[in-house]
Amino acid sequence: MSIQSVVFVAVIFMTFVAFQLFWDGQLITYPMFCWIQMQNEAVFVRVHQSYVKSLGIPTYLPTSLYLLVTFVFLFIHPAEISVAAPIVMNVLNVIGVISTFALLVPLHIHIDRTEKATLADVNRLIAFNSIRFSMVIVNSIIVLYLLVRMLN
């Protein structure tokens, strides 16, 4: 197996790992946050603080690997794949990273420091995370398209 094929397989695998991580956040964790916040704001803040502390390696490592292999894909990809796909994927990843650090991280920090969170704050978490989730969905579609093309 060529290095280009190995990188492509890594991109396929890590894209779908990232998809699962963001799926969980967007469709399971954050909606659960809404429900908890509507029941009791103080309980929500404690759950949120615990959630943020637990992210660590189980979230940051696969996400970092996803970003890394997608970046490597710019330079090392099968000859049958135009560089346009890796460029688009990386532009989407940059948008996702910017939205994370410009929108989501400050909101998480605000909730933890003030120990307060309105339903609007939780809805903003969901909205801001949907930006990242959308980027991963598009990248997943690109990867599926590339995979189907490579298999034909």
pTM: 0.88
Interval 34-46: pLDDT, tens? 899 889 989 999 9
Q: What is the pLDDT of the chain when averaged over all its residues?
A: 93
Interval 64-122: pLDDT, tens? 999 999 999 999 999 999 999 999 999 999 999 999 999 999 999 999 999 999 989 99
Q: Which of 104, 102, 93 is nearest to 30 (CA)?
A: 104
Tokens 């909606």 correspond to what residue?
31
CB 121 within 8 A of CB 111: yes
Q: Give the C-alpha separation, 14 to 146, whole Å.
A: 15
Q: Give the C-alpha separation, 65 to 91, whole Å.
A: 16
pLDDT at 139 > cutoff 90: yes
* Eight-state DSSP code of residue 26: I
| pLDDT attached to residue 74 | 97
Number of H helices, E strands in the chain: 6, 0
Alpha carbon separation from 122 to 12, 100, 107, 112, 147 (Å, rounded)? 32, 15, 9, 13, 37
Total number of domains constituting the chain: 1
Range of the domain at 40: 3-151
Tokens of 58: 């189980």
Number of residues that this document lists for the chain: 152
